[in-house]
Amino acid sequence: MAQKIDSLIELVDHRQGELINLLEKLIRFKTPAPPARNTEEAQQFISSFLKQMGFEVDKWDIYPGDPNVVGVLKGAESSDYQSLIINGHIDVAEVHESEPWEKDPFTPVVKDGVIIGRGASDMKGGLAGALFAIKLLHEAGIQLPGDLTFQSVIGEEVGEAGTLACCQRGYKADFALVVDSSDLHIQGQGGVITGWITLKSTQTYHDATRKRMIHAGGKLFGASTIEKMTKIIQGLQDLERHWSVMKSYPGYDPGTNTINPAVIEGGRHAAFIADECRLWITVHFYPNETHEEVAKEIEDHIRKVAEGDIWLRANPPMFEWGGTSMIEERGEIFPSLEVDPNHKAVKTLMHCHETTLKHEAIVDVSPTVTDGGWFGAAGIPAAIYGPGDLGNAHSVNEQLSINQLLDYTKVILRFIYEWSHTNKNIGE
């Protein structure tokens, strides 16, 4: 059977035109998020593709016009052999009309050894390669002993947790592989959470009363929430510097854990003292931390800052964390993901990479975030492994090396086969 897999891997080169055509087909589906609510046609294509490969397909709306698609191919000996989830997102980064693309972003161009188009790198290349590997296995009549689940999810680009919805729907496996852009590195990731910090006065004041708040003897206990928010921002900066000194994680530059004051909203208009101010922050944290932990650290620190200010002590800051959509709720969570290099699936993936590509596999951490953390949060061991690099993700004239797409497809074909043929009861 190993010889048969080697023959299938050779077919990837011989049939690369079909693989490229599949990726071109996916790119032509206009699925940018924002605006989102535009993946129905693309997801129907993937649903039909999986059904043709013998998968049982579950397709349901996360939002109108944005369904998830999950296909399950039951293994011949499910109870004894390892199961696998392959996960990727069908949405792509937004495109502005002013961007100087060589051609329409959703009209793929193949030239000079690359394919150009929105989503080529992030991450329709990963979806196309995995789907093509499944097609080759199906055409060869190979029945996998372990279960294979394929997830095409929505909303990753805008923090809409399509992958979380899959976990909540009960989809599990012994290992999950997120085929997002990793430049063929096997990766874990830090996490991201957004939050709103709100200051609100219990009373509103005319702007002419300001002199009574800030000059001696005015006897009016009031303040501008905009001005008071500067103390909150200073407190966040102090904590951020403390984190950069006291926290670290292998593979990350010092100070990668950041607190970004991204958006500030405050005041009514010029005739009022600002009675409400809201600060939107983005927090990056390390793979060995949780979003609950870092949110609590920030709240505890900022409450102590507020205790040192007379007005803030009487009008303490309020906190709102996360959200399921940057579009609907202006908030998101990406849990962190630690990869265990000694996990049997990770070792198998490393072996498949090295056997197929004849060079050492790299296990490291992603400088960005993907849906991979949702699997870790659900107790499913996982890793990120896909074609494409962050230099091209979200870029004008986004592109993917065809050679890397071929390499990735070969590796994932071998990995699907080998992991599915790994007995659950051997070497535990």
φ/ψ of residue 113, rounded to 5: 80, 10
Spell out the residues 6+ positions from residue 138 whose beta carbon is closer than 8 angstroms to its own: 53, 54
Whether residue 95 is found in the same domain as residue 167: yes
What's the pLDDT tens digit per position in 57-89? 999 999 999 999 999 999 999 999 999 999 999
- Segment 51-57 shows an average pLDDT of 98
Whether residue 250 is found in the same domain as residue 353: no
Please tell me the total count of domains within the chain.
2
Distance in angstroms (rounded) separating the CA atoms of residues 61 and 84: 23
The model's confidence at residue 428, banded by pLDDT at 50, 70 and 90, is very low
- Specify burial of residue 2 (Cβ count, 10 A radius: 0-12, 13-18, 19+): exposed
Q: What are the Cα distances from residue 193, in Å, to 146, 250, 342?
A: 35, 21, 29
What's the pLDDT tens digit per position in 83-111? 999 999 999 999 999 999 999 999 999 99
Kindly report the length of the chain: 428
Residue 136 pLDDT > 90:
yes
What's the pLDDT tens digit per position in 210-261? 999 999 899 999 999 999 999 999 999 999 999 999 999 999 999 999 999 9
Whether residue 396 is found in the same domain as residue 317: no
Percent of the chain with pLDDT over 90: 97
Q: Which two tokens stand for residue 192?
A: 């991201």
Q: What is the dihedral of CA 118, 161, 166, 386, to 10 degrees?
A: 40
Domain boundary among 321, 347, 382: 321
Domain boundary among 295, 321, 347: 321
Whether residue 184 is found in the same domain as residue 304: no
Q: Catalytic residue numbers? A: 91, 156
- The CATH number linked to 247 is 3.30.70.360
The model's confidence at residue 425, banded by pLDDT at 50, 70 and 90, is confident
Spell out the residues 6+ positions from residue 209 whose beta carbon is closer than 8 angstroms to its own: 220, 222, 273
H or E stretch at 162 = helix 162-168
Question: Is 206 a domain residue?
Answer: yes
What's the pLDDT tens digit per position in 354-375? 999 999 999 999 999 999 999 9
- Segment 261-282 shows an average pLDDT of 96
Contact 43, 91 (CB under 8 A): no
Distance in angstroms (rounded) separating the CA atoms of residues 120 and 398: 6
